[in-house]
Amino acid sequence: MDDESVGLFRMRMKSLQRRLRQEAVSVRGLSRPAAQVLGTVGRRPQISPRDVADEMRMTSSNVAAALRELESAGLLDRRKDPRDARRVRLSVTDAGLELAARFRDERDTWLGRAVEAVLSEDEQRVLAEAGRLMERLSHFEPVAPGHTGGSPSRTPDEGA
């Protein structure tokens, strides 16, 4: 793919990501950053606030504000790391898990309806294959200069 095609593809993926975020269920009193942090902690139990900030590319102060919001809403717990009391580990409460599941269900419902309404059966098959290709791309790690071995990264379901 040439650079222009790669850039256009990336812009189109970002457009779909924005639309999926718009389809998230809004919860009275819960900000969008807090909802995003909730999703991140739900996917990575026992993550640290610092790791949340790094993964989400958010400032530590924005993460701290989202964590306070989630904790006061009863959606998240903070606990000291048993191996290092200076560190904090985060986990989602049962109420937080239910809310995160509702967010995912709403987005998935919208996406499913959009796919069925807009794409033909052949296009739906192409989209499913594109999803598999994007999964493979997500596992790509550049080879260090001078390294000559190895095979392309494969996902577990593809085998070696």
Residue pLDDT, tens place only, 7-39: 999 999 999 988 877 776 566 668 888 988 998
Distance CA 128, CA 146 (A): 36
Report pTM: 0.61
Phi, psi of 92 (to 5 degrees): -90, 135
* Residue at 4 is within a domain: no
* Residue at 83 is within a domain: yes
* Residue at 134 is within a domain: yes
DSSP conformation letters of 11-78: HHHHHHHHHHHHTSPP-TT--HHHHHHHHHHHHSTTB-HHHHHHHHT--HHHHHHHHHHHHHTTSEEE
Distance CA 64, CA 70 (A): 10
Q: Please report, in tens digits, the pLDDT of each residue of the chain (160 residues total).
A: 999 999 999 999 999 988 877 776 566 668 888 988 998 998 888 999 999 999 999 999 999 999 999 999 999 999 998 888 889 999 999 999 988 888 778 778 888 999 999 999 999 999 999 999 999 999 999 887 766 555 554 444 544 3
Specify the residue for token string 């995912």: 104
Q: What is the CATH number of the domain that holds 121?
A: 1.10.10.10
* Residue at 79 is within a domain: yes
Please give the tally of structural domains in the chain: 1
Distance CA 103, CA 105 (A): 6
User: Residue 120 sits in which domain range?
Assistant: 13-139
